[in-house]
Amino acid sequence: MISARGLRKSFPVKGGQFEAVRGIDVQVRRGEAFGFLGPNGAGKSSTMRMVAAVSPPTAGELRILGLDPATHGPDIRARIGVCPQDDTLDLELSVVDNLYIYGRYFGIPRRELRERCEELLGFVQLLDKRDAKVDGLSGGMKRRLTIARSLVNSPDLLLLDEPTTGLDPQARHLLWDQLFRLKQQGVTLVLTTHYMDEAEQLCDRLVVMDGGVIVAEGPPQQLIRTHATREVAELRFGTGEHEALSEQVVDLAERVEVLPDRLLLYTENGEETLAAVHARGLRPVASLVRRSSLEDVFLRLTGRALVD
């Protein structure tokens, strides 16, 4: 569905060029959910805009649905769905009119479009808001409507830029459920996110981006297995004590990561490791054991936390 080689994007800035995407290779297969995971400024949105055929690459080779965006931009845009980071709905119009007017851009015949709008409103659970003005909808509803709008032209490929940023947990879960169902229907999903749980839940494969480059690539669970242990014991001591105390526990784990507010002990059995820490007479003010996550992968690869 998408093939990128040596993809680059630079922006003119005072005194020269800023390279937001610095030569990435990506292959997205039909029917999969593919993620770009990374912190703010990693280059995810810049990549998505190139893949949506709205921002030309500075260099590299890009094919979307087998087409070159430089020569087939309108064809590509007609066949994909794009759900941008900021809701770009018409707040003054009703819910159904937002869909209907968008659908008219694609030249969908009126009767077919009317049916499609009802079907999509049902899918995103907004039928009861059909005639409400968009202005009064909650954030989650607006996002669901934006997704419905991106599906008006029945795309095989749906691009979602940070689909759940700013939503409460319930709204996020509802949206995840809808994205799962789209995937089951055969829609290829490409999304950016800086939420690790979202990437783990939704993506079959992902790339981890940082500073415009890809630092890791693969299925989430495989990345976790490759770059982290099964479990992590997190220990909080007094402020400023972590560096010194790390020396005393370094032999109890496969790897110890020192963060300003805690120590992370990477281990196959977190409870055993915690017991060993206590057996040494060390008394953390707080501790917990959890499974390793993509956060740990990011930390391992970049030395920084993937903060929200």
Ligand X SMILES: Nc1ncnc2c1ncn2[C@@H]1O[C@H](COP(=O)(O)OP(=O)(O)OP(=O)(O)O)[C@@H](O)[C@H]1O
The answer to the question of residue 13 lying near ligand X (CB under 6 A) is yes
| Binding residue count for ligand X, defined by CB under 6 A | 13
Q: How far is the CB of 42 from ligand X (least distance, A)?
A: 4
Q: Which positions from 173 through 212 interact with ligand X, judged by CB under 6 A?
A: 194
38 binds ligand X (CB under 6 A): yes
Beta-sheet pairing, 59-64 with 205-210: unpaired
Residue among 41 and 109 whose Cβ is closer to ligand X: 41
Which one of 35-43, 149-157, 218-226, 273-281 is the stretch in contact with ligand X (CB under 6 A)?
A: 35-43
Q: Kindly tell me which of 14 and 111 has the beta carbon lying closer to ligand X.
A: 14
Nearer to ligand X, 85 or 269 (CB): 85
Residue 35 near ligand X by CB under 6 A: no
Residues 39-68 that bind ligand X (CB under 6 A): 40-46
**Window of 12-20, 96-104, 238-246, 285-293 that interacts with ligand X by CB under 6 A:** 12-20
Cα distance between residue 278 and residue 272, in whole Å:
10
Pick the piece of the chain touching ligand X (CB under 6 A) from 37-45, 56-64, 129-137, 144-152.
37-45
DSSP codes joined into one string, 197-229: HHHHHH-SEEEEEETTEEEEEE-HHHHHHHHS-
Contact 232, 270 (CB under 8 A): yes
* Options 5, 11, 286, 288; binder of ligand X; rule CB under 6 A: 11
Q: What DSSP element (H or E) covers 267?
A: strand 262-267
Provide CB contacts within 8 A for 99, sequence distance 6+: 116, 117, 120, 121, 145, 148, 149, 152
**Distance between CA atoms of residues 96 and 119, nearest Å:** 11
Pairing of strands 188-193, 157-161: parallel
Task: State in angstroms the smallest separation of the CB of 114 from ligand X.
Answer: 36
Q: Which of 238, 237, 249 is nearest to 276 (CA)?
A: 249
Q: Where along the sequence are the contacts to ligand X (CB under 6 A)?
A: 11, 13, 18, 20, 38, 40-46, 194
